[in-house]
Structure 1
């Protein structure tokens, strides 16, 4: 009887060179080679990747990823916990009310004082702004970005980040200008120093200043959540200086000059994100026009008006504010009364700068030499602004040369991250192909087969990168996103 011939088999598993063998002999040879393969050591495990995975699975990394991925839920739960505690436990209201209401209200004047209890309200608004930022980005700006034709992940992230800045700074700048317009220091630099110290302000003025303080403290967290930019260090230092200036100006009753500086800074943070959004949406000429407006506004506000404020601190403050110690009843102890002036703490610079937090009803002293401390912080901030202005000039040169406005803060940095992600994806693909070699039968090894995605992918390779890696459609969903998330929140070691 003739040997039955099996149906034709695809020429896989490394038997294309045994065409002269019948089906039974091929099957016998396949089983033999399969047994030999099972006796050999397992495929290489890439110890570096195993070590990296162990680092990614650390408790700190998991906690950071959890917090970053649930900002809205955490914020809402903290706010609900606060309000439920305030409603359900009357005895706790004297503490919880500090987070909800403005403190130090004076019913006689209808104004509010300043003090340490205001830090509770700042803490609450850090939580509120954290949740509101993500909610606005995901539920308002994300649909708008998709309607605008933006589909890529990087484009959506950029659009939402810049869109949120437009939303916040438009609100804060408008409110700040409203407060300035109805004040005695509107277009009057000397008005920032007259009648100092003003221990009480209106409720709107105080709320605005505390929310601004909360925003910059929360921004220090945001720069570590967002993808890293080339000017990450400058941006982080900028937020530190701004938060420190707000802290000191609030503690020393210099909220008026602080508001002027905040309004000077906020206006350009509306125009630049607008230019970026137009660019992300694919417009060609409009981003360059808006960027030109931004450059002019930046130059006028941050290198002219800002310097004028610094000059006013140096020249007007010593004459408008008489050196001495100011008591809460309006009495002034002049600086030339040396013994009494020193007894009230006139020579203690730091103690006076934070007087609103430590002794809000006590004497607060002004020494003209203290202005140099404020000037040092403001001029240090001006140095950072000059570094950014140099970057802006580079973009202007590209526009003039016909290359178009570009975001020098971020593009090259994010491109590097994309190349790293592609390289890691290729490394994982190579590992999987080596583990599941198409020339051998499958072996008993857990590789998460149910999670494999065999869809075709196009991998962009850098020209200067080695071409030894093999491209494949095999990938493990979630790993790339997790690493990218951990890198963004700073929980992963830099590669």
Structure 2
């Protein structure tokens, strides 16, 4: 009876030209791989470095060989709106070109550093699995960038009027012009977070993919609005507060990958303390300052570029657009030399985004507490971020390195590199075919990053068992 049912099912399966039953899953995957979007994604992901270098060269060579275009091309790699009278820089739409150029450079730099510097270091350190190599390189890149950005941010904050003085964030607003270093830092951070939106979609998806993507979108929105509304001071302070734990968590992860368990535990403990202090004490303090200090330290009214001000209770205030929220939030992009108006109601726009970020941070902190509770109660610290990662036969005890509590929590710049298997990775692969893929992909170092479900045609067919026998 069972055999008859099985034969009937096989008979109803779609046939290939030779009459051999064809798997619907394989047909669907093959059609997906043939799609234009799939091919485009594969091309971009596998050639991130090449595309970045070509775009940079295109802009630079155009600037060199076409003098007429220099007025436009210079915006991509030079800070705009320089005022030689006071050696400061203003803000405006031309800065978006610099942010775009910085995104291109960061994308190429990330791949170059991961593949040509961190990949050899990971191999020297004894990491052999494909996923282990990817994790090591991702975390090392975060350490490098966040150490740089946090150090520069701390330098700026320490030498500012708002060092240990939250009232300094608001007194003297609007800050239409800033020095070169402050502006460069802010635009590069803007580019980094915008690029992180691409990174979370390029990498294999995690269980907190939605939270991570939402976090980066809200961060970019806050940077965009704070820059357009001349609030770079508070933005710089928040970015500096957030960057610290994104150094400590990747450090703890790398120590775990390298087998230094004692140092890893110490780093993880420091990370938990730093997380609580920076993200649940300092960050709420800044949010409170937005609510309580801004209305008192910033006189409501419309401010002109020459320093004059029309108070909020004046009849001219409404005529200048003082009650139009969105138009004022993007003043530096639409009319950088025109009046910019402030009324206390506008602070709720920023508070909404700041509190939304705090909700996501609380979500991650709950994961941290869950890990700590499991460890202290003697339970197994199972991964709460990703699904089963499948087999990886290149080295033994890979799970022993990745089941540590530090792999269950996410940082703010991309988080823990624990994948949720999607696409063809979720199929039941034979051990033999997966080994083939591992061996074959080990030598491919085009970019080190790929979208699940897409890749080299021959390699893809080999993974799902459709390649011709050799």
TM-score by length of 1: 0.78
Question: How far apart, in 2, do the equivalents of 1:424 and 1:300 lie?
Answer: 45
C-alpha deviation, 1:477, in angstroms: 6.2
Provide, for residues 226-275 of structure 1, a one-character-per-residue CA deviation record: whole Å limited to 9, x for no partner.
11111110000000000000000000000000001001100000000111
Q: Which of 66, 72, 80 is 2:49 aligned to?
A: 72
Question: How far apart, in 1, do the equivalents of 2:423 and 2:110 lie?
Answer: 29
Provide, for residues 10-42 of structure 1, a one-character-per-residue CA deviation record: whole Å limited to 9, x for no partner.
xxxxxxxxxxxxxxxxxxxxxxxxxxxxxx964
Contact 1:228 1:488 in 2 (8 A): no
Instruction: Give the match for residue 352 of structure 2.
Output: 376
Q: Which of 299, 305, 320 is 1:328 aligned to?
A: 305
Contact 2:204 2:451 in 1 (8 A): no
Question: How far apart, in 2, do the equivalents of 1:276 and 1:375 lie?
Answer: 33
Q: Which of 413, 429, 445 is 1:425 aligned to?
A: 429
Report which of the two structures shows the higher radius of gyration computed on alpha carbons. 1
Unaligned runs of 5+ in 1: 1-39, 427-455, 461-472
- Whether 2:422 is the aligned partner of 1:457: answer no
Contact 2:204 2:422 in 1 (8 A): no
Contact 2:205 2:419 in 1 (8 A): no
Residues 476 and 172 of structure 1: CA distance in aligned 2, closer, same or farther (over 3 Å): closer
Local SS of the residue matching 1:144: helix
- Whether 2:115 is the aligned partner of 1:138: answer yes
Question: How far apart, in 2, do the equivalents of 1:393 and 1:70 lie?
Answer: 40
Residues 183 and 303 of structure 1: CA distance in aligned 2, closer, same or farther (over 3 Å): same
Residues 421 and 100 of structure 1: CA distance in aligned 2, closer, same or farther (over 3 Å): closer
C-alpha deviation, 1:69, in angstroms: 0.3
Provide, for residues 416-443 of structure 1, a one-character-per-residue CA deviation record: whole Å limited to 9, x for no partner.
62996374433xxxxxxxxxxxxxxxxx
- Whether 2:462 is the aligned partner of 1:487: answer no
- Whether 2:333 is the aligned partner of 1:357: answer yes
Unaligned runs of 5+ in 2: 1-16, 390-417, 461-470
Local SS of the residue matching 2:261: coil
Local SS of the residue matching 1:425: coil
Residues 373 and 177 of structure 1: CA distance in aligned 2, closer, same or farther (over 3 Å): same
Provide, for residues 91-124 of structure 1, a one-character-per-residue CA deviation record: whole Å limited to 9, x for no partner.
0011101112100000000000000100000000
Q: Which of 47, 70, 81 is 1:104 aligned to?
A: 81
C-alpha deviation, 1:212, in angstroms: 0.3
Contact 1:190 1:320 in 2 (8 A): yes
Contact 1:287 1:405 in 2 (8 A): no
- Whether 2:208 is the aligned partner of 1:208: answer no
Local SS of the residue matching 1:289: helix
Q: Which of 82, 88, 96 is 2:59 aligned to?
A: 82
Residues 163 and 476 of structure 1: CA distance in aligned 2, closer, same or farther (over 3 Å): closer
Provide, for residues 153-183 of structure 1, a one-character-per-residue CA deviation record: whole Å limited to 9, x for no partner.
1100111111111111000000000011111
Residues 313 and 416 of structure 1: CA distance in aligned 2, closer, same or farther (over 3 Å): closer
Local SS of the residue matching 2:421: helix
Provide, for residues 460-481 of structure 1, a one-character-per-residue CA deviation record: whole Å limited to 9, x for no partner.
9xxxxxxxxxxxx899967xx9
Question: How far apart, in 2, do the equivalents of 1:87 and 1:458 lie?
Answer: 51
Instruction: Give the match for residue 56 of structure 1.
Output: 33
Question: How far apart, in 1, do the equivalents of 2:92 and 2:237 lie?
Answer: 22
Local SS of the residue matching 1:215: helix
Residues 240 and 279 of structure 1: CA distance in aligned 2, closer, same or farther (over 3 Å): same
Contact 2:196 2:216 in 1 (8 A): yes
Instruction: Give the match for residue 43 of structure 1.
Output: 20
Question: How far apart, in 2, do the equivalents of 1:164 and 1:403 lie?
Answer: 32
Please report the RMSD computed on the Cα atoms of aligned residues, expressed in angstroms.
2.8
Provide, for residues 269-324 of structure 1, a one-character-per-residue CA deviation record: whole Å limited to 9, x for no partner.
00001111111112322222211111110000000000100111111111110010
Contact 2:204 2:419 in 1 (8 A): no
Q: Which of 200, 203, 216 is 1:223 aligned to?
A: 200
Question: How far apart, in 1, do the equivalents of 2:378 and 2:262 lie?
Answer: 11
Contact 1:129 1:215 in 2 (8 A): yes
The aligned length equals 409
C-alpha deviation, 1:410, in angstroms: 4.0
TM-score by length of 2: 0.82
